[in-house]
């Protein structure tokens, strides 16, 4: 039986980019997402401390990609991450498991894309 994972793209991108802090936060966030998902499916209100984990992963990603890149070239990714994070938090508040899963797909894609694109930009930069 396969383990449920909510951030497969982000975990893979962090491994490829050798972004240890991003990987650690992604794994912690994935575990919190699994707890939250289980609570949503069971109709419980406990185990929903995912919001802080999402923010910690965003902060680790921002640090990895660099504040300058995150604010300039990466701003579209930053907005996508923020929008998906908001959708996840709304789904949790509404107790909507379907919307939670859908929003997590967008969050994972946006976060992984940011890590990959920033890493690609670092390798292209003459100052890298």
Strand, helix or coil at 52? helix
Would the pLDDT of 109 be above 80?
A: yes
Residue environment code for 92-105, b if the CB has 16+ CB neighbours within 10 A, otherwise e: beeeebebbeebbe
pTM for the full model? 0.88
To 5 degrees, how large is the angle CA 93–CA 39–CA 107? 60
- 105: which 2 tokens? 């797909």
Could you give the count of Cα atoms lying within 13 Å of 64 in the half-sphere of its Cβ?
30
Please say whether the beta carbons of 112 and 13 come within 8 A.
Answer: yes
pLDDT at 44: 79
What digits encode the pLDDT tens for the residues 56-96? 999 999 999 999 999 999 999 999 999 999 999 999 989 99
pLDDT at 120: 77
Residue of 3 and 117 predicted with greater confidence: 117
Which band of pLDDT confidence, cut at 50, 70 and 90, is reported for residue 3?
A: confident
- 74: which 2 tokens? 């990466």
């Amino acid at each position: 039986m396969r383990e449920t994972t909510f951030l497969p793209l982000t975990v893979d991108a962090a491994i490829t980019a050798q972004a240890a802090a991003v990987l650690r936060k992604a794994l912690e966030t994935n575990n919190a997402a699994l707890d939250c998902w289980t609570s949503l499916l069971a109709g419980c209100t406990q185990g929903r401390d995912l919001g802080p984990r999402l923010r910690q992963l965003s902060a680790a990603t921002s640090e990895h990609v660099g504040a300058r890149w995150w604010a300039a070239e990466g701003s579209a990714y930053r907005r996508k991450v923020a929008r998906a994070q908001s959708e996840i938090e709304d789904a949790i508040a509404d107790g909507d498991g379907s919307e939670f899963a859908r929003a997590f797909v967008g969050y994972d894609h946006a976060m992984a894309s940011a890590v990959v694109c920033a890493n690609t930009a670092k390798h292209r930069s003459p100052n890298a």
